[in-house]
């Protein structure tokens, strides 16, 4: 309990992080509660196409006459779910690959890190486009594509953390007590290596949301599920005549990404011992 209170004290000392956390909390609440408070089908054609915001349609309608507010509320669930799921998947893959490479070293380290370097040489968004284009764009494929292009950065950080921790005295003491390598990695090194990895993974949520939006803008999103990126993609054909159709979900993505980045900076200051000493 003391550690939690100390973490919160350090976190709230960053005003930007607190503001970002508040904004992100509001967005999550809108995603969870919004569709029940405003029960309009986001795919239902409820009015004329490209209507300006009014008392009936608070944010207007899109090119098919669908309520933009309903799309935002329902799309928040999908966009946030994609960001969180892809980031968690990337963190797990990166932890496994980087942890094994950093702990065991030798030829295994060389082989695994060369595979990481291979992925890093390919532009991440281009690789995501290729994967989604080949395997078609259901939401599972989009999440997998984002995770595949995101895990190498986590792997490099995990490798550095595990390589640093494995030579510490407490690890040597664990080996002297006869603990197995797997037990040392999971129970001893992982808790000490996890904080910086959590920070990087939290920032990847914003990148994942932006990547999904980019894929949808290019027409590679899942047409059966509405998301903020899907809404931007729908409005790209009327950018000159009905700019708000794309601008409203675009601004929503901007605010969400800024909030996630502010929270990530706050986590970095709260969890990073070097930042605490400043």
The CATH number given to whatever domain includes residue 270 is 1.10.3720.10
Q: In the chain, which residues have pLDDT < 70? A: 1-4, 137, 272-278
Is 206:260 a contact under the CB 8 Å cutoff? yes
Q: In Å, how far are 152, 178, 188 from 115, measured between CA atoms?
A: 9, 32, 27
Task: Answer whether residue 190 is part of any domain.
Answer: yes
Is 214:124 a contact under the CB 8 Å cutoff? no
Task: Answer whether residue 52 is part of any domain.
Answer: no
Task: Answer whether residue 98 is part of any domain.
Answer: yes
Task: Answer whether residue 50 is part of any domain.
Answer: no
pLDDT at 94: 92
Task: Answer whether residue 208 is part of any domain.
Answer: yes
pLDDT at 22: 93
CA angle at 56 for the pair 50 and 59, rounded to the nearest 5° = 50
pLDDT at 192: 83
Task: Answer whether residue 65 is part of any domain.
Answer: yes
Long-range contacts of 66-70 (CB under 8 A, 24+ apart): 66/42, 67/40, 67/42, 68/231, 68/244, 68/245, 68/248, 68/249, 69/38, 69/40, 70/35, 70/38, 70/40, 70/41, 70/42, 70/44
Q: In Å, how far are 233, 247, 253 from 258, measured between CA atoms?
A: 21, 16, 9
65 φψ region: left (φ > 0), alpha (ψ -120 to 50), beta (else): left
Which residues lie closer than 8 Å to 125 by C-beta, 6 or more apart? Answer: 149, 211, 214
- The two tokens of residue 115 are 């595979």
Domain that holds residue 251: 2-40+61-276
Is 263:21 a contact under the CB 8 Å cutoff? yes
pLDDT at 147: 93
Q: How many domains does the chain have?
A: 1
Task: Answer whether residue 122 is part of any domain.
Answer: yes
Task: Answer whether residue 8 is part of any domain.
Answer: yes
3-state secondary structure of 57: coil
């Amino acid at each position: 309990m003391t550690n939690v209170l100390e973490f919160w004290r350090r976190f709230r000392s960053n005003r930007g992080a607190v503001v970002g956390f508040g904004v992100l909390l509001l967005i999550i609440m809108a995603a969870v509660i919004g569709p029940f408070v405003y029960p309009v089908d986001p795919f239902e054609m409820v009015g004329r196409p490209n209507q300006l915001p009014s008392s009936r349609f608070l944010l207007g309608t899109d090119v098919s006459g669908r309520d933009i507010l309903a799309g935002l509320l329902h799309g928040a669930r999908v966009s946030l779910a994609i960001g969180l799921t892809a980031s968690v998947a990337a963190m797990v893959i990166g932890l496994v690959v980087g942890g094994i490479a950093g702990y065991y070293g030798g030829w295994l380290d060389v082989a695994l890190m060369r595979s990481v370097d291979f992925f890093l040489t390919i532009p991440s968004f281009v690789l995501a486009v290729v994967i989604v284009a080949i395997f078609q764009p259901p939401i599972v494929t989009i999440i997998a594509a984002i995770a595949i292009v995101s895990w190498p950065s986590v792997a490099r950080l995990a490798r550095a953390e595990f390589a640093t921790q494995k030579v510490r005295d407490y690890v040597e003491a664990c080996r002297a007590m006869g603990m197995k390598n797997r037990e040392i990695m999971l129970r001893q090194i992982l808790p000490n290596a996890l904080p910086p990895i959590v920070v990087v993974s939290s920032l990847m949520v914003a990148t994942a949301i932006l990547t999904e939006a980019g894929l949808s803008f290019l027409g590679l999103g899942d047409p059966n599920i509405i998301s903020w990126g899907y809404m931007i993609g729908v409005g790209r054909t009327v950018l000159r005549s009905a700019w708000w159709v794309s601008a409203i979900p675009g601004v929503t993505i901007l605010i969400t990404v800024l909030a996630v980045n502010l929270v990530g900076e706050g986590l970095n200051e709260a969890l990073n011992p070097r930042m605490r000493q400043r």
